[in-house]
A and B are shown apart, each in its own frame.
Chain A
């Protein structure tokens, strides 16, 4: 046995380090609505007390919003208010915000969640109606203007919604929920298109 095993020690294939994002490249379109999975981005979940906000804003290069349901962005980096001491920072340019926070001495907790989340873009005239197929929040422009962001619920899954334009939303969900969320939004887009 040992001999046979030894003779079979062909060079083992190097372990794959290829990243396979969930749902990569999937998209669906209905009349007036397009649902598509966005390219991967860097993200952190940031929690910090009031006293650390200024130092963190400086390090991240984007002012952390303090008003509920708002976001702030600079260049390709966006900070979303999730709670009174909680933010979601998304960087679409590939610059890891976690590294920027590492040098901050002020008390904070930054956790890299780049691979935990999947972002789905919902665009078109029926975008709000599509999300409202499973999200009970008021997404009219009065209540949810451009730049508004909120953690909420879609069907049975938790999502974070960011309004990037009048008729465009960025929906962030957990990777393991992404299939459910994408399918839900696809179904919603068909209803919204009617």
Chain B
């Protein structure tokens, strides 16, 4: 079982307590009604789906119930790090060669 560190509970918890909530850092337009169809499609449907490092939202559903962000490697399925919702994308990832 994967252990995921919840930044609010400040410890590693078993994966069964968590839910994935899609890609992180997708900003909703402040003028959503004025969006063109193409821009709305990009915002709403198009996800990066990379091979390697991905930034995701996760929710500690059966714990503190908070959303937070996580950096995960889609190849190894390993979590690189997690950080609180609202915090910017980490500029440096521990243990990841760039």
Contact = CB atoms under 8 A, between A and B. Distances in A.
A178 to B, nearest CB: 17
A136 B11 CA distance: 14
B16 A82 contact: no
A82 B61 CA distance: 11
B17 A86 contact: no
Interface residues of B, number: 14
Contacts of B93: none
Interface string A48-86: 000000000000000000001100000000000011101
B21 interface: no
Nearest to B64: A83
Nearest to A153: B62
A137 interface: yes
B16 A153 contact: yes
A82 B13 CA distance: 14
- A interface majority secondary structure: strand
A158 interface: yes
B63 interface: yes
Nearest to A137: B14
Given A69-B9, A136-B16, A152 B63 contact: yes
A136 B13 CA distance: 8
Contact of A84 (B1, B11, B62, B64): B64
Nearest to B1: A136
Given A68-B10, A136-B14, A136-B16, A83 B62 contact: no
23 contacts: A68-B8, A68-B10, A68-B11, A68-B64, A69-B9, A82-B64, A83-B63, A83-B66, A84-B64, A84-B66, A136-B1, A136-B14, A136-B16, A137-B13, A150-B63, A151-B63, A151-B64, A151-B65, A152-B17, A152-B63, A153-B16, A153-B17, A153-B62
Interface of B: 1, 8-11, 13-14, 16-17, 62-66
Interface of A: 68-69, 82-84, 86, 136-137, 150-153, 158
